[in-house]
Amino acid sequence: QKEVEQDPGPLSVPEGAIVSLNCTYSNSAFQYFMWYRQYSRKGPELLMYTYSSGNKEDGRFTAQVDKSSKYISLFIRDSQPSDSATYLCAMSAPYDNFNKFYFGSGTKLNVKP
């Protein structure tokens, strides 16, 4: 079983839609959760960083963590064509060796004008 599972997509939505991206994980020790956005031919760019359970909002983006279900989500409101990218989730456990992050394989999102 993979540490982190993420649907690869592609996910295609019309401009203005609400997008929901999700990851599940198996290690209950994970406490730190991140979402990265990766455009084609670019490196991953940090979007959201959260600790433990709950929600965090930043503009059109909301990150949600449900530790009881081992499930994290990224919501994008009023999606734009410029949001078309691959979204990677990542997570880590406290006191783990050398700050190791566990990544999902990424979900490709296409927002159509």
Partner 1 sequence: ETGVTQTPRHLVMGMTNKKSLKCEQHLGHNAMYWYKQSAKKPLELMFVYNFKEQTENNSVPSRFSPECPNSSHLFLHLHTLQPEDSALYLCASSQDGVSNQPQHFGDGTRLSIL
What is the binding site for partner 1 (CB under 8 A)?
Answer: 2, 4, 8, 31-32, 34, 36, 41-46, 49, 88, 92-106
Report the residue number, 2 or 77, with the smaller CB distance to partner 1: 2
Report the residue number, 44 or 85, with the smaller CB distance to partner 1: 44
Q: Tell the smallest beta-carbon distance from residue 43 to partner 1 (Å).
A: 4
Composition of the chain by helix, strand, coil, percent to 5: 5, 55, 40
CA distances from 32 to 6, 20, 98, 105, 113 (A): 17, 20, 14, 18, 34
Report the residue number, 68 or 99, with the smaller CB distance to partner 1: 99
